[in-house]
A = this chain, B = another copy of it.
Amino acid sequence: MNDTSSRLTGPVRVVGAGLLGASVGLGLRARGVDVVLDDASPANLNLAVDYGAGRASDGEESPALIVVCVPPDVTASVVLAELAAHPDAVVTDVASVKVAPMAELEASGRDISRYVGSHPLAGRERGGPSSGRADLFVGRPWVVCTRPDVSRASVSLVEALVLDLGATPIEMNTVAHDAAVALVSHTPQIVSSLMAKRLSGSSDAALALAGQGVRDVTRIASSEPELWVQILGANAPAVVEILRAYRDDLDRVLAALGDLDAPGARRSLAEELAGGNAGVSRLPGKHGQDRRFASVVVMVDDKPGELGRLFTEMGEIGVNLEDLRLEHSPGAQIGLAEIAVLPEALQRTIDDLTARGWRIAG
């Protein structure tokens, strides 16, 4: 957000004052936009108003833009109600699936040409209006679903909202959106949860050997089951398609591991692993693979202030810290900080940190 003026005029109506609705309200209020809030729960609504996310609706406003921020399974019915109640407004929503609500809207037989679906790729672990943040969407992709029957002016209005909130609009149709999130969000969630489930029956001794790998694979397995049943359920066909292909690969791995002396078994295993290499290399800006930077691993004693001291001294040395990754071993007296710097600064970083008594581990 380099300027503070808004691209939007007139009140924006936000329906649903949970995490996303409150964050939309807070972000727009920070831009000076008049935000009118509504929520089925008066308690939720009052809380969001108290937090400064907007003012309560008095039923007299004429919003040009309405943002529906309710759970996926009630999105379509709320969108229809808003379209009917505000015959001049453009209505968008923020649900994380787009095909199912769209099908429900089309099945209603009503005029939905003023509806433009959207989806901000943003969230927090905690929900509710008190978790809302004006900057929740800053720097995030925000999909805006275009359709032939929707005017460019309507799409532009929704994109003005997206830009006001600091996010990057990405135009896609609903089918492409749902296939994309099935791949980069919904299937990884299942894969991670099922791996984490395997850890349940294990011994503490076995889990003491866990390193960064299994931690990374299972991090998102701490997501809330109720919310995810709803998300996965609303995008089931797209998820099932990817998950079936995943299971076919898994069956190939199982077959190969079950009879390693069979002709081609080891080659089959190698091909599955190489397929993983190819896939992960396609992720833009993948963590730890940024070839613009060189990295140095510094050992940090596990006591208060040590990490802070390292960063302070990095500042004193005058080396720009481009990225950082921390690694802990439970029970260890030491942590490892992997620091990314520009390649030309690598030797100086190592020399200066060593001179200041830091131990370099790699």
Contact = CB atoms under 8 A, between A and B. Distances in A.
12 contacts: A121-B209, A185-B211, A188-B213, A189-B273, A190-B272, A196-B280, A199-B279, A210-B284, A217-B217, A218-B280, A307-B324, A311-B311
A312 interface: yes
Main secondary structure of the interface of A (DSSP, over half): helix
A58 B277 CA distance: 42
Given A194-B276, A219-B280, 15 more contacts: A166-B334, A168-B332, A170-B209, A183-B199, A188-B213, A192-B217, A198-B242, A204-B284, A216-B220, A219-B288, A243-B257, A246-B250, A284-B331, A307-B324, A312-B312
B236 A209 contact: no
B209 A185 contact: yes
B193 A335 contact: no
Contacts of A165: none
Contacts of A202: 180, 183, 282
Nearest to A225: B273
Nearest to A206: B180
A167 B260 CA distance: 34
A5 interface: no
B196 A276 contact: yes
A321 B312 CA distance: 11
A246 B280 contact: no
A245 B253 CA distance: 14
A188 B218 CA distance: 9
Interface string A323-353: 1111011111111100000000000000000
Contacts of A280: 196, 199, 218-219, 221-222
Contacts of A74: none
Nearest to A307: B321
B213 A185 contact: yes
B192 A334 contact: no
A308 B315 contact: yes
A334 B166 CA distance: 10
A69 interface: no
Interface string A212-253: 011111111111011011001100100110111111011101
Q: What 6 pairs across the A-B complex have the smallest Cβ distances?
A: A311-B311, A193-B276, A312-B315, A139-B332, A180-B206, A197-B275
Interface stretch (A107-115, A130-138, A156-164): A130-138
A142 to B, nearest CB: 10
Interface string A287-319: 111000000000100001101111110111001
Nearest to A194: B249
Contacts of A88: none
Contacts of A257: 232-233, 236, 239-240, 243
B222 A220 contact: no
A141 B209 contact: yes
A78 to B, nearest CB: 21
A285 B277 CA distance: 28
A170 B247 contact: no
A199 B283 contact: yes
